[in-house]
Structure 1
Amino acid sequence: MKMEPDSARWDEIQKILRAKEQFHKDRAKLPIEEKIKILVELQKLAIDMPTASKGNRFRMVWNI
């Protein structure tokens, strides 16, 4: 028996998926310089996160 999401929940899921798609389209339009800035910020965040594998401890942030 296949369960169908109720109409309100399904509408909310569709709204979230459309917003996600628009977010990615907007990011794709950014100039390369802005994309690099975002990447460096993500690298800084990743430095503070524990690694899943003990052998992969080398992380760096681009110095731009």
Structure 2
Amino acid sequence: MKAEFIVSDMTCNHCVQTITRAVQTAAPGARVQVDLDARRVSVEAAVEAAALQAAIAEEGYDVRLA
């Protein structure tokens, strides 16, 4: 499944690394693409979008489905 999220407070490469790690922990093998300028995260994984959203939120980010 593919899911897209808007992470409004993602501002730097450290944020990108943290979010990517959180997603890949929740969904090992997930393909994560990040557009830092647009503050969008696209994920292709075998995990429900809600679980991915929760993993990002647990890292302290404001995240919503795009």
Shorter-chain TM-score above 0.5:
no
Higher strand share: 2
Q: TM-score, normalised by structure 2?
A: 0.29
Bigger radius of gyration among the two: 1
Q: Which has the higher contact order (CA 8 A, sep 6+)?
A: 2
Q: TM-score, normalised by structure 1?
A: 0.29
Higher helix share: 1
